[in-house]
Amino acid sequence: MAEFSIDRFVDRYAARAAGMTASEVRALFAVASRPEVVSLAGGMPFVQALPDDEVADVARSVLAEQGDVALQYGGGQGSIGLRERLVMLMAEEDIEADAEDVVVTTGAQQALDLVGKLFIDPGDVIAVEAPAYVGALTAFGAYQPRFLPIEIDDDGMIVEQLEQALVRGERPTFVYTVPNFGNPAGVTMSAGRRRHLVALCREASIPIVEDNPYGLLRFEDEAEPCLRSLDPENVIYLGTVSKTFSPGVRVGWALAEQSVVQRLVLAKESADLCSSNLTMLITERWFSDDALWRGTLAGLVDAYRSRRDAMLDALEEHLDDEAVWTHPGGGFYVWVTVPNWLDTKALLAAAVERQVAYVPGTAFYPDGRGANQMRLAFCYPTEERIRDGVARLGSLIHDETDLYRSLGG
């Protein structure tokens, strides 16, 4: 008689690895990535819109002119040339910054991990939007915090709920928010809420981590002020070029006070020594050509706006009776709420069978909520595919409604 040890290290893993398990939803996504399935699931940027020749020219010139640097290690903070470009990008959203206060990271995702590493001890309370970006929940989750979910509405995080939590005695280590066209809900925090949040957190000495991947993907209306520009001292700001240029270059950054920056650089160096000089130089050159990056970004925004419109029109046509959804003014995502008897996780298999996929809502909550919600991404499929996908989803939900009624619901 022998006990079969499938994983000989199973008793050696840290407690933080406990949540890293196989899931049914991942299994379904393996099918959802098939070309015949309209995937409204993944938030993949529309990189086909990038001008291939110009990107190739930029990459070639980097290797031809700076090959020695591009193929070498770099500094942990990231090259000064790139940081200056990132400062310029932030100025587009009225953020004043000094390149010395910027740390380049491997995508903003690494910045999330480094912030978690610096700030979170096991059991610390982290306030997050509910729903929140799943990548932040997993990045912070590795440091074993307790999440304090703060609900959202069409004006973003309901700051009054955070205020009530503070009155109850909660003391979050920081507040994490995606205030512009958030992932997954697509909503934007109102100017009033921003001011309230900033004042509340300053008063309580709670830092804010502002994650702003989508701010420059604005389809209409004026921008609300960034939290960082409202209170530079108390806001750690995270940015990325994944949505304005390319996720493949893995260039993100954190902007913070010098004291935080110094620790972030040390944490970054212990994580991966430095970001890729090659892709940092490509990114720097890309954003040095004003007409090129602005023209490309304008094209991306136009494409995303049309796709958003296609999705909202299709939802109106196919789901009007059964669901409510957000109306994002930018970004990648629409957040759909269906009747509370419908379990979107259980429904995903049938959706994939009908060749449409989405992300079930529970992924975006730390506490199991969201069973009757789903995230739909309009960034990647064409307008026609979006219309087809939403139509398939609509017919599925109609059929489920019939089924539910037949079950006495």
Partner 1 sequence: MRIAIIAGGRTPERDVSLRGAHRIETALASLGHDTWTVDPAERKLVETLRERPADLCWLALHGKEGEDGTVQRLLDLEQIAYTGTRALECELTFDKVLAKDVLRRANVPTPDWVVIEGSALRDLGAGASLSTAVDRIGLPCVVKPSRSGSALGVAIVERAADLAGAVMAALSYSDAAIVEQRVSGTEIAAAAIGAPLELLPLVEIAPKDGVYDYGARYTAGATDYWAPARLEAATAAAASDASLRALDALGIGSIGRVDLIVDEATQPWVLEGNVSPGMTDTSLVPMAAAAAGLTLSQLCDRIIQASDTA
Nearer to partner 1, 248 or 409 (CB): 409
Does 56 engage in binding with partner 1 (CB under 8 A)?
no
**R_g of the chain, CA atoms, integer Å:** 22
- Is residue 64 within the footprint of partner 1 (CB under 8 A)? no
- Least separation in angstroms between residue 384's CB and partner 1 is 22
How far is the C-alpha of 93 from the C-alpha of 324, rounded, in Å? Answer: 31
| Position 280 contacts partner 1 (CB under 8 A) | no
In this structure, the strands spanning 235-240 and 208-211 are parallel
* Residue 7 neighbours by CB distance under 10 Å: 8
| Segment contacting partner 1 by CB under 8 A, of 24-32, 104-112, 178-186, 262-270 | 24-32
Q: According to CB under 8 A, which one of 93, 113, 231, 400 is a site residue for partner 1? A: 400
Sign of the C-alpha dihedral computed for residues 160, 161, 164 and 166 taken in this order: negative
Pick from 40, 157, 264, 347 the residue near partner 1 by CB under 8 A.
347
Interaction between residue 48 and partner 1 (CB under 8 A): no
Is 341 a binding residue for partner 1 by CB under 8 A? The answer is yes
Residue 406: CB minimum distance to partner 1, A: 4
Pairing relation of β-strands 146-153 and 208-211?
unpaired
Per rule CB under 8 A, is residue 368 in the interface with partner 1?
Answer: no
Find the binder of partner 1 among 15, 16, 34, 94 (CB under 8 A). Answer: 34
Of 9-17, 107-115, 254-262, 358-366, the segment contacting partner 1 by CB under 8 A is: 9-17
Return the structure tokens found at 77: 């903070």
Q: How far is the CB of 206 from partner 1 (least distance, A)?
A: 35
> Is residue 15 involved in binding partner 1 (CB under 8 A)?
no
Spatial separation of the C-alpha atoms in residues 376 and 378, rounded to whole Å? 7
Contact range with partner 1 by CB under 8 A, out of 89-97, 133-141, 250-258, 401-409: 401-409
Task: Please report whether residue 241 would count as binding partner 1 according to CB under 8 A.
Answer: no
How many residues in total does the chain contain? 409
CB half-sphere exposure, 178, CA atoms < 13 A: 29
| Run of H or E residues at 334 | strand 333-337
Read off the DSSP letter of residue 121.
P
**Helix ranges (DSSP H) in 332-375:** 344-353
Which residue shows structure tokens 């110094």? 262
Residue 364: closest CA among 188, 213, 184, 209: 184
Residues engaged in binding partner 1 (CB under 8 A): 1-4, 6-7, 9-10, 13, 20-24, 26-28, 30-31, 34, 36, 341, 343, 346-350, 352, 399-400, 402-409
